[in-house]
Amino acid sequence: MAGKFEIYKDKAGEFRFRLNSSNGQTILSSEGYKEKSACNNGIESVRKNAPEDGRYEKKESSSGKYMFNLKAANHQVIGSSQQYESVASRDNGIESVKKNAPSAEVVDLTK
């Protein structure tokens, strides 16, 4: 089973997407969008940018955990990861986004 994008509405009524790996774990989450079309554009941007190593910003939180942001060519963040306990786990998360995002199906949970 391949990964999938899920479009959903948050508590504020904004559209968001999350990319789940083949095991169902969320590996990337978006910001909120007012319009569903903008959310879909965000998904397309993830598909386009995911294969490029230079689009990943690797970070360490103040609590000593690791995470990453996926950025578009204009340096805007288009998705953020969960927090990981180790650098290796974070790097595995990046590889999972690279593998899953380009061909992941889109499931709209707002219908």
**Domain locations in the chain as residue ranges:** 4-108
Give CATH for domain 4-108.
2.30.29.80
Show the tokens assigned to 77: 């963040």
Q: What gap in Å lies between CA 67 and CA 85, rounded to an integer?
A: 9
Q: How does pLDDT run along the chain (111 residues), one tens digit per residue?
A: 579 999 999 999 999 999 999 888 999 999 999 999 999 999 999 999 999 999 999 999 889 999 999 999 999 999 999 999 999 999 999 999 999 999 999 999 998
- On whether the CB atoms of residues 20 and 6 are closer than 8 A, the answer is yes
Threshold 0.85, pTM exceeds: yes
- On whether the CB atoms of residues 50 and 103 are closer than 8 A, the answer is no
Q: Which residues pair with residue 39 across a beta bridge?
A: none
